[in-house]
Amino acid sequence: MDAEFVAGKTRARIRGRDFSFAAPFLVENSRGLVPLSSLSALLPRFLGAPVNFRESSRRLFVGDVGIQIGFHLEASNPPRLALNFSAPVNPTISTEPGKLRMVFKRDPVVSPGSQSISFDNKVITQASYSENNGDAELDVAANQPLMASFSNNGRTIVVSTIVVSTATVSTAQPATVANGSPAPPSVAGSGSAPQNPTQAPSPEAPAANIGSGNANTGASNMNMNVHRVLAVVDPAHGGDERGAALTDTLPEKNVTLGFARLLRHELEIRGFAVALLRDGDNSSTLDQRAAAANVAGAGIYISLHAASQGNGARVYTALLPVEGPSNGVFHPWNAAQAPALPVSRMVSAAIVAEMQKRQFPVRGSSASLRPLNNVFMPAVAVELAPGADGIADLTSANYQQRAALAIADAVVSVRDRLGVPQ
Ligand SMILES: [Zn+2]
């Protein structure tokens, strides 16, 4: 296309039509420079698509791509905040006292109308939105520790408290709520492209109140998934703790996270609620990981590792210290796994069998591998090593997918045995 700019002038011609800049066009080192503040008007002339440029936050959207956020607070005890997005999102999630932070680096999430929404709730009090240096950030404030879980293929993030006192199995499961408007379950997945999340009901969170700040206390549990088992998937390592150096540039923590996300998807489509212990590059201690799985009331805990040596997958169950377990209802921390170990071994055997069925090289063994010893529910660790294509397999979605499919099918096959032994 023809465009004519003149150094030092604010007038230009694009496709034969006049255009005026907010400041003069400049030429430096044989490059033409336009004022940033003119981009919103200038780029659509070239691209034929709407352009939304947020100069102060350094974010530029080409096309009609903004992802909307809907908020739905289920004022149950404990409360759950469902965030519904008009398209799948993949934020980096971190927690600090009183706050759960989601940072959207690549997702074109846009402001929910008001920068801050207050909830009429004593625990989850506020959500606030900000943009800075290319990122959008959503902070949820609470006076108890929070965790987030994804559902609905990345379109819903459920923020809930980590409850220690009451051992309700459903603590960390995605909310299954209905509010005033009738939202029959059959509407879910109807494929209509949602422009507005309030018109995209899902079984997880049928309706969203954007910016209303009005908790819907009329929410009632539909309990369509009474027997939905929570699987806690733990991508080992993270943050400064990088795990093994699989190559010069590939830390184990990256492989475990990608693998965990694939496994989450495979488990979700098989009807499990899934919580990743990290969904970004953050670190936590082994004790914190075990505690998170225990307080969440998980039915199964799966830890994921990766190695550059070996062939295929290794599936581990805990190797308990000789002194445990005790006789009473209390178990030493290092032998917390003891009552669940028989089922853990069934899970391991099922994974080995499913992988063998798929000609995926696999070996099962037990190891004193923390935090397997410290979790109450059936627990396995799966270490992924390269297959026939060598180290490239570790970052191959296809290779990881084959392993994830086998693990998910195996977990389904023993679903009835999962949970904390009574
Ligand atoms: Zn590892």
Q: Which residues partner with 3 through β-bridges?
A: 14
Q: Which of 157, 180, 170 is nearest to 77 (CA)?
A: 170
Q: How far away, in angstroms, is 305 Cα from ligand 1 center?
A: 4
Q: How far away, in angstroms, is 383 Cα from ligand 1 center?
A: 7
Q: Which residues partner with 346 through β-bridges?
A: none
Q: How far away, in angstroms, is 93 Cα from ligand 1 center?
A: 21
Q: Which two tokens stand for residue 193?
A: 């492209």
pLDDT tens digits for range 56-68:
888 999 888 889 9
**pLDDT value of residue 301:** 97
Q: How far away, in angstroms, is 350 Cα from ligand 1 center?
A: 22
pLDDT tens digits for range 132-146:
998 999 999 998 888
Q: How far away, in angstroms, is 244 Cα from ligand 1 center?
A: 6
For the chain, what percent of residues have pLDDT higher than 90? 46
Q: How far away, in angstroms, is 419 Cα from ligand 1 center?
A: 25
Separation of alpha carbons 298 and 284, rounded Å: 18
What residues pack around ion ligand 1 (CB closer than 5 A)?
236, 243, 305
Q: How far away, in angstroms, is 239 Cα from ligand 1 center?
A: 13
What region does 375 belong to: left with phi over 0, alpha with psi -120 to 50, or beta? beta
**pLDDT value of residue 326:** 54
Q: How far away, in angstroms, is 339 Cα from ligand 1 center?
A: 25
Decide which of 174 and 405 is more confident: 405
pLDDT tens digits for range 75-127:
888 888 999 999 988 888 887 778 899 999 888 998 877 788 898 888 999 99
Separation of alpha carbons 183 and 174, rounded Å: 17
Q: How far away, in angstroms, is 335 Cα from ligand 1 center?
A: 21
**pLDDT value of residue 54:** 86
Q: Which residue has the tokens 């290092």?
A: 334
